[in-house]
Amino acid sequence: MTAIPFYAQIINLLAALLLLLSFAMLAQRRVLSLVNLFAMQGLSLALSTAIVAYGTAQPHLYWSAGLTFVLKVFLLPWLLHRLIRQLDVRWDVEGLINIPTTMLIGIVLVVFSFNLAVPISELASTVTRSTLGIAMACVMLSFLMMITRRKAIPQVIGFLSMENGLFFAATSATYGMPLVVELGIALDVLVGMLILGVFFFQIREQFDSLDLKHLEKLKEGE
- pLDDT tens for the chain, 222 residues: list them: 456 778 888 888 988 999 999 999 888 878 888 889 999 999 998 898 888 888 878 888 888 888 888 888 888 888 888 877 776 665 556 667 788 888 999 999 999 988 888 877 776 666 667 788 888 898 899 888 888 887 777 878 888 888 888 888 777 767 655 554 555 555 556 656 655 555 555 555 555 554 545 445 544 444
Task: Tell whether 211 is covered by a domain.
Answer: yes
Task: Tell whether 43 is covered by a domain.
Answer: yes
Task: Tell whether 1 is covered by a domain.
Answer: no
Of the CA atoms within 13 Å of residue 118, those in its CB half-sphere come to 6
**Close Cβ partners of 36 (under 8 Å, ≥ 6 residues apart):** 77
Task: Tell whether 32 is covered by a domain.
Answer: yes
Number of domains in the chain: 1
Task: Tell whether 60 is covered by a domain.
Answer: yes
Task: Tell whether 118 is covered by a domain.
Answer: yes
Task: Tell whether 122 is covered by a domain.
Answer: yes
Quote the domain boundaries for residue 21. 6-221
